[in-house]
Amino acid sequence: MIWLIHTCRFPLLVLLLSTISVGQEPGTARTQHEKQSSVVVFVCEHGSAKSVIAAAYFNKLAKEQNLKMRAISRGTNPDHEIAPKAAAGLRADGLAVTGEKPERLSKADVSTGIRVVAFCELPKAYKESSRVVEWNDVPSVSENYSAARDVMVAHIKRFIDELKAGK
């Protein structure tokens, strides 16, 4: 009888642990990268120009400062591909273009992002979040990539300083 109790311990432990892991709520599992960094969400209407450029520069500057923060780009009405002028400008600046197609902003993006930076009008359900910041003074990328990039980079530098200061 004692032998039976000792031989059953390990399988019971495995069964118990697997039950705990299976019982985890859907969507709560996180990758190692997500656990180690905070996410900033940049949003523009088409998710193919301003938000892509801002995310690329935010990621570059955050990496240079060894911050455990990263940025993603989203659109309220996403295009099928990244805008050619944005892609060409980023490549000319020596930054990688992800090659991914723009993604639609979701409630999960807004609820899990430490901040949401909007370059466009957000749907009402997203706008009411206290984490939303609007940057409405950025020129059109299609008209002047350099001017748009310069305004965004200036915003991003101040924004990173604010995030580091805990604001």
* pLDDT (tens digit per residue) in 112-150: 899 999 999 998 888 777 789 999 999 999 999 999 999
Distance from C-alpha of 122 to C-alpha of 85, rounded to nearest angstrom: 24
pLDDT averaged over the chain?
80
Question: What domains are there in the chain, each with its CATH number?
Answer: 36-164 (3.40.50.2300)
Which are the contacts of 167, defined by CB distance < 8 A and separation ≥ 6? none
Distance from C-alpha of 159 to C-alpha of 167, rounded to nearest angstrom: 9
